Amino acid sequence: MILARAIIFGVPLGALALTWWSVQQARASRTIRESEIVAMLPGPPPALNPFVPATEVDRQIVDLLHEPLIRIGADGRLKPALAERWEWSQTVTCWFASPDAAIRAAAHLKEVNSGQRITWGLESASANQGSLVMHFSKMGSKGPDAVAAESAAFSPLTAEVIRVELNEPVRPYHEHFAAHAVHAAQIKRAWFDGANALEIVVAGDVPKFAEELTNYYRSKTTLKPRIENRARITALREPVLDFVLREDGRWNDGTPVTAEDVRATHSYVMAQPWPVTNREALRDVLTIESVGKTRLRVLYRRESGAALCGWIGLPILPASWFHDHPADAEGHVFTENSPPGAGIFTITHRDLSSLALAAADGGRKSCRIRRATFASGASPFQTKLGFATGETDMFWPENNDVPSLVQGKDLAIRSLPPRGRLLVVWNTRSTVLSSVHAREALSLATDRTALVNELLQGRGRIQEGLFQPGLWFAQKFPPPLFDLDAAKAKLEVAGWLRDVEGMAKRPGQRFAFELLTTEGNEQRRKLATALAEQWRKIGADVKVTAVPWNDFIEKRLSRRQFDAAIIGLDFETTWDQSAFWHSSQAAGAGLNFSGIADRQIDLLLEELRQEFDPERVPEKAKELEDKLLAQQPMLPLFTDMQQVEIRTTALPVGEQTDEVSAWTLRDFVLDRPASAARPKVALPEMRVPDENPVPPAQGR
Amino acid sequence: MIPSPRTRPGWLPLRLVILGAAMACAVLAWHRVPAMEWTRFLAGLEPVSADGTTLISAMRGRAGASLLIMITSMLLAVTTGLAVSLCVLRIGLGLPSLIALVGRFLSAMPVVAIAWTAIGVVVGHQGWPIESLLPHHPAQDRDTWALATGRELWWWLAPSWILALPLMGELVFRAIEGFRALDHSHFLPALQSRGLHRSAIRYRHLLPNVWPHLLDCIESLGLLALGYLVLVKEALGIPGWGSFLAIAMQNGDARGVAASIYAACWLGGAWCLLIAILRRFTVGRSGGTEPVETPHHHQSHDMLTTTVMSLLLLVLACCPFTASGTKSDWPSMLASFASPLVHDLGTAAGGCGLALAITLVLGTACGLTKRSNWLSGLMTTFAWSPTLVWFLALAGFAAHASWLVLGLVAAPGGVVLVARRWREIHASGFMEASLSVGAGRLHAWRLHVMPEMFRLILAWVLETFGTMLVWLSLIDSLRSARPERATSLGQAISAAKENVLSDPQPLLIPALIVAICALFFRQLSLIVRPGPPPH
């Protein structure tokens, strides 16, 4: 009887007591958080692919874990990261018929007086098996031309650039050819443009070489080779980018970051088809040479100052990790294994539902937040729970939830930097939209503020210009004009007059055009419909057509069979815009869909691309923007604006950031001197002459 | 729809596993999974989710955690239920009837509403955390063994208490009913005449008599709890077997559903095996005595209690909302749930109609055969299987035909009951005696069979109807589709759960309506059920 009673009454009472105790412990566990944040992530756990972050949240976390050589600072300017400094120089190579000629040319240059050499920027000139290699300290100077003129007396050979394209990977065929061809010694450079294309620089008896090359590839009919001579040159100019790595750069395990790691990172990334930011800039790399442990020399195949941008934000990983973890096209390797980084944080726990980071040894001093936990797959309800229990400090809300959350107490909203933008590309060769006035009228009739508010619930930034907002070379534009009267006037200037029904017409033609969008994208369909509605107010009859993505690109944009199209572009930290607006890209597979072909714009684009001094980029970028935007080749709409909600108590004291400015997780965790922490300056006491100062204890 | 202990089949764990395998294969066949894969599936080697996880690896940790929560919940429910019952029986003064009714009311509350209300109270009101919803991993240097143990315990105890509440309600009712039946039997005066103390009589003599029947009840409640577990885990975000089924259901993933069904039967089998072991140690090999049913004259008391208490509960349930200064007018609020209630009543009526039709046809067919056949065996196994799990799993595929699934799931219980009664009537010899004294067959049937069968079937229909109302409210919380306007009480509960932290009222009102309606029909069932023959 006693046992029965003890069980019947003891178990529930004991369980109640245990429950009470455990709840108190669970509460206590959460009250001792200090320098910690807990963030709730929507959707699946972050894949943490450092090179292709799946989401902006992924990108922010990767930025804590990994360091690039160069990064963009909070002020939008270039900042050294793993690289302590970097500088451009260039190498010019000439080939001669005999080694003697090369030696004589080198000797001749050495005899030139030092003042002249300094003017040219010539650092060294050496002969090497029939070639003269000259190193210049500056890019863009006139030194190489002057030196080429000096060495012309020694009859340098003319070199040719030959491009080979195959239906199969070209590398094995080229290696076989180079090993067995009679004229293989004439190959001076080989650069693989992707898997199936190759560009080689040949000096010597070029016609014979070309014949042998052509015969070699044409004998393999299945390859369907396309061989063409690209250029004829007397000297090969190759930009060189020298990096000096930080001495104190360390991986999380304490081993130093070396130049070999950078080289391995580049090889790893380029071997995969990942859409890495600024991949084009990385493709131009000819060779990467480690000079000691902390010096790196990157040789480029063509002159492009924007090639530096390839290294901006590219996370560097250890070569040993790459060796042990072969890459796969989908990037699963990063989900299954977390590579060590050189960032300010390191991963301490990772599973399907949570990711915990802790400040790395190197970053501990500089971090305000020492530990960050990210819980993934959180539902809106779990987020509310997190805030109710004081456990969650940060979350990424859905668009629809923002209006209600804004009113919530103790919450601050911050906006992440934009990842991409939406714009309307006009086909400037379309019969209806060929007039710049007509395109300008449509721009004036577009109420972008209304679009952002209605379609994105205010979560978007109106964007103007060509470049990513916030960068040092991106102009700050005034808010775009929305003026229907001015738009109608512009349309009339273009010859489109409105009839009694308000529709714009000119003899025999209506102001009617097609606005293309992609099928299956509901947001873009709504945007297209909203734009059509807005433009109807000035008399435009717009037909919205949604086409599948492949047809959109291949059948409509690439063939320029469209009037206007809504496209989304990811931002890239580069000032080279040739791919989108250069006249050479205005046909075929080129990305200049608008068909803008202006010689002046082409020159500006080329000049900007070849600018090696970042300080001079803003001036040239502005010139290009002004010239290009005046042509109205596109209508920039808005960028994305992912917002994060933060508990106000988790924010740094005195933080001045507003809800729209770009905010990053890195800036949040770093311990920056806040305005509140500034030393207070004693204000001079003001009093009229002869007035006695009030003793502190009395009057205040 | 708790089956009668008298109908419990032998080898139940084995039967459940075989039934689970058959049901899983049926689901796979329905979704045109090649028969070649079934064997690998049943062996646990076939992938059951998009990421290629096999059944064994998916259920490795999930099933164990689920069974542990179920055992803990049942332990809490049984001990708390018995403690409450014994206390109120000692107090007397009509309190046992009231508490039994409250217990039944609690068991009729949709478990999803209990879970979400608990979340609202624990988190929204008290500001306490729930470990499973928001796991916390403090830095190692700041964690102590007490904090870690506390968090771990709270992780287990929160779902266990929530699941224990409806089970405890049913057990309180069963225990009080069992004790009261013995109180009114000839058993008690004999013990009292020997001068035994009241508590000694209760613990040494009455409890051992009630215990075997409670054990049967616990066994069948455990199978029901498997279904409840799905909803509790879904609400508390516990990555267990239940949440696996919930996700598979929401995604319409046939392999996932089949895997969950199969795992549920293994869990059910394990549960029944545990109960069999417990029975062996606490009751002995015989399995106990026949259950003592409440004498007929107590039904008038029940009837009165039902009428009065149902009204009282309705008023009590609504009073807090009007007293709390809510802006809305509660009669109009209640009126807004009229349409969803009618919808649910209609669906339950459809399910009951189908179940009744199947019961009458198959129950009579099984009952009129003298020996048990494969059909009655199959029906018995179905009746003693986790029927709520079948309903939750299959209703996910037939969103617009919940009544059909309800009818099919409920029917086996009725078939078994009716068939058994047919056999009892046949064995009792009343018909032969009547015929032998010259009564016509129709007259004898009208006198000895029809009243009995009519009341039995009516009681079963009413009981089933009440349960169907509760189950219908559960399925909507698992469906991912959220219509803008709730067309059923389950959808109303589901729609309100997101705001339970700030305002639990919109969730509680439909849940209370469901519980009161279910209680009403269940109490009616008690009233009309055929009583034991007079002594």
Chain A contact for B157, CB < 8 A?
yes
Summarize pLDDT for A570-608 with one digit per residue, the tens.
Answer: 888 899 999 899 998 988 778 899 999 999 999 999 999
Chain A contact for B371, CB < 8 A?
no
Q: Which residue of B has its CA nearest to A33?
A: B138
Residues B132 and B154: their CA atoms lie apart, in Å, by 9
User: By percentage, how much of chain B surpasses pLDDT 70?
Assistant: 87
Residues belonging to chain B: 535
Mean pLDDT score of chain B, rounded to an integer? 82
Average pLDDT, stretch B225-237? 88
**Beta-carbon separation of A18 and B157 below 8 A:** yes
pLDDT given for residue B320 in this prediction: 55
- What's the order of all strands across the beta sheet hosting A509-510? A497-498, A504-506, A509-510
Closest to B76 (Cβ–Cβ): which among A15, A385, A388?
A15
Q: Which two tokens stand for residue A426?
A: 């006009």
Residues A624 and A614: their CA atoms lie apart, in Å, by 15
Contacts 24+ apart (CB under 8 A), B90-94: B90/B198, B90/B199, B90/B202
Angle between helices B374-383 and B12-30 (to 10 degrees): 90
- As a whole number of Å, the end-to-end CA separation of chain B is 29
Look at residue A372 and give its three-state secondary structure.
Answer: strand
Tell me which chain B residues have a C-beta less than 8 angstroms from the C-beta of A375: 134-135
pLDDT given for residue B250 in this prediction: 77
Element (H, E) at A86: strand A83-95
Q: Which residue of A has its CA nearest to B239?
A: A353
Residue B166, judged by CB atoms within 10 A of its CB (0-12, 13-18, 19+), counts as buried
**Beta-carbon separation of B134 and A391 below 8 A:** yes
Element (H, E) at A231: strand A226-233
CA distances from A679 to A366, A667, A668, A674, A675 (A): 20, 22, 22, 11, 9
Angle between helices B254-282 and B241-251 (to 10 degrees): 150
Q: Which of B154, B155, B172, B201 best tests the A interface by mutation, with the highest count of A CBs <10 A?
A: B154
Residues A258 and A294: their CA atoms lie apart, in Å, by 6
Look at residue A205 and give its three-state secondary structure.
Answer: coil
Amino acid at B167: L
Q: Which residue of A has its CA nearest to B142?
A: A32
User: Are B273 and B11 a contacting pair, CB within 8 Å?
Assistant: no
* B439, pLDDT greater than 90: no
Angle at A287 between CA A281 and CA A293, to 5 degrees: 105
Tell me which chain A residues have a C-beta less than 8 angstroms from the C-beta of B149: 22, 25
pLDDT band at B195 (very low <50, low <70, confident <90, very high): confident
Q: Which residue of B has its CA nearest to A24?
A: B150
Number of Cβ pairs < 8 A linking chain A and chain B? 120
pLDDT band at B370 (very low <50, low <70, confident <90, very high): low
pLDDT given for residue A680 in this prediction: 37
pLDDT given for residue B289 in this prediction: 52
Q: Which residue of A has its CA nearest to B201?
A: A1
Summarize pLDDT for B86-119 with one digit per residue, the tens.
Answer: 999 888 777 888 888 889 899 999 999 999 999 9
Amino acid at B119: I
Closest to A30 (Cβ–Cβ): which among B129, B203, B498?
B129
CA distances from A217 to A22, A164, A181, A222, B291 (A): 76, 9, 12, 10, 94
pLDDT given for residue B534 in this prediction: 47
Residues A91 and A124: their CA atoms lie apart, in Å, by 10
Strands (E), A633-681: 634-640, 643-647
Residues A305 and A312: their CA atoms lie apart, in Å, by 13
**Beta-carbon separation of A1 and B86 below 8 A:** no
Q: Which residue of B has its CA nearest to A353?
A: B135
- Structure-token match 């924007």, residue found: A306
Look at residue B147 and give its three-state secondary structure.
Answer: helix
**Which residues are CB-contacts of B518 (< 8 A; sequence separation ≥ 6)?**
B108, B466, B467, B469, B470
Look at residue A422 and give its three-state secondary structure.
Answer: strand
User: Are A349 and A356 a contacting pair, CB within 8 Å?
Assistant: yes
Tell me which chain A residues have a C-beta less than 8 angstroms from the C-beta of B161: 15, 19
Residues A288 and B259: their CA atoms lie apart, in Å, by 54
Top pLDDT among B380 and A31 is at: B380
Look at residue A686 and give its three-state secondary structure.
Answer: coil
Q: How far is CA B31 from the centre of its chain?
A: 29
Chain A contact for B30, CB < 8 A?
no
**Beta-carbon separation of A356 and B137 below 8 A:** yes
pLDDT given for residue A418 in this prediction: 86
Tell me which chain B residues have a C-beta less than 8 angstroms from the C-beta of A23: 128, 150, 154
**Beta-carbon separation of A5 and B204 below 8 A:** no
Tell me which chain B residues have a C-beta less than 8 angstroms from the C-beta of A24: 150
The distance of B170 to chain A (nearest Cα, Å) reads 16
pLDDT given for residue B313 in this prediction: 62
| Least confident span in A410-424, A645-659, B219-233, B384-398 | A645-659
**Beta-carbon separation of B151 and A24 below 8 A:** no
The distance of B271 to chain A (nearest Cα, Å) reads 20
Look at residue A690 and give its three-state secondary structure.
Answer: coil
Top pLDDT among B482 and A695 is at: B482
- Structure-token match 């030959």, residue found: A162
Residues in chain A with pLDDT values less than 50:
674-700
User: A133 φ, ψ to 5°?
Assistant: -110, 120
**Beta-carbon separation of B124 and A23 below 8 A:** no
Chain A contact for B481, CB < 8 A?
no
The distance of A238 to chain B (nearest Cα, Å) reads 48
- Structure-token match 């009343």, residue found: B430
Chain A contact for B151, CB < 8 A?
yes
pLDDT given for residue B356 in this prediction: 93
Top pLDDT among B275 and B285 is at: B275
CA distances from A533 to A481, A530, B175 (A): 18, 5, 71
pLDDT given for residue A408 in this prediction: 58
Top pLDDT among B83 and B10 is at: B83
Q: Which two tokens stand for residue A335?
A: 């989900």
Tell me which chain A residues have a C-beta less than 8 angstroms from the C-beta of B191: none
Chain A contact for B129, CB < 8 A?
yes
Average pLDDT, stretch B387-394? 87
- What's the order of all strands across the beta sheet hosting A354-359? A345-350, A354-359, A371-375, A36-40, A394-395, A643-647, A411-415
* DSSP classification of residue B377: H
Q: Which of A7, A25, A379, A391 best tests the B interface by mutation, with the highest count of B CBs <10 A?
A: A25
Tell me which chain B residues have a C-beta less than 8 angstroms from the C-beta of A27: 128-129
Q: Which residue of B has its CA nearest to A9?
A: B83
Q: Which of A7, A16, A23 best tests the B interface by mutation, with the highest count of B CBs <10 A?
A: A23
Chain A contact for B119, CB < 8 A?
yes
CA distances from A287 to A126, A299, A512, B448 (A): 20, 5, 52, 102
Q: Which residue of A has its CA nearest to B237?
A: A382
- Rg of chain B on CA atoms, in Å: 24
Q: Which residue of A has its CA nearest to B211?
A: A4
Amino acid at B133: L
The distance of A450 to chain B (nearest Cα, Å) reads 27
User: B28 φ, ψ to 5°?
Assistant: -65, -40
Q: Which residue of B has its CA nearest to A385?
A: B123
Tell me which chain B residues have a C-beta less than 8 angstroms from the C-beta of A384: 498, 501
Q: Which residue of B has its CA nearest to A20?
A: B154
Residues A455 and B530: their CA atoms lie apart, in Å, by 65
* B303, pLDDT greater than 80: no
User: B153 φ, ψ to 5°?
Assistant: -65, -45
**Beta-carbon separation of A32 and B142 below 8 A:** yes
Closest to B203 (Cβ–Cβ): which among A1, A28, A373?
A1
**Beta-carbon separation of A15 and B157 below 8 A:** yes
Complex ipTM value:
0.87
Closest to B79 (Cβ–Cβ): which among A8, A24, A32?
A8
Closest to A7 (Cβ–Cβ): which among B79, B138, B151?
B79
**Beta-carbon separation of B135 and A32 below 8 A:** no
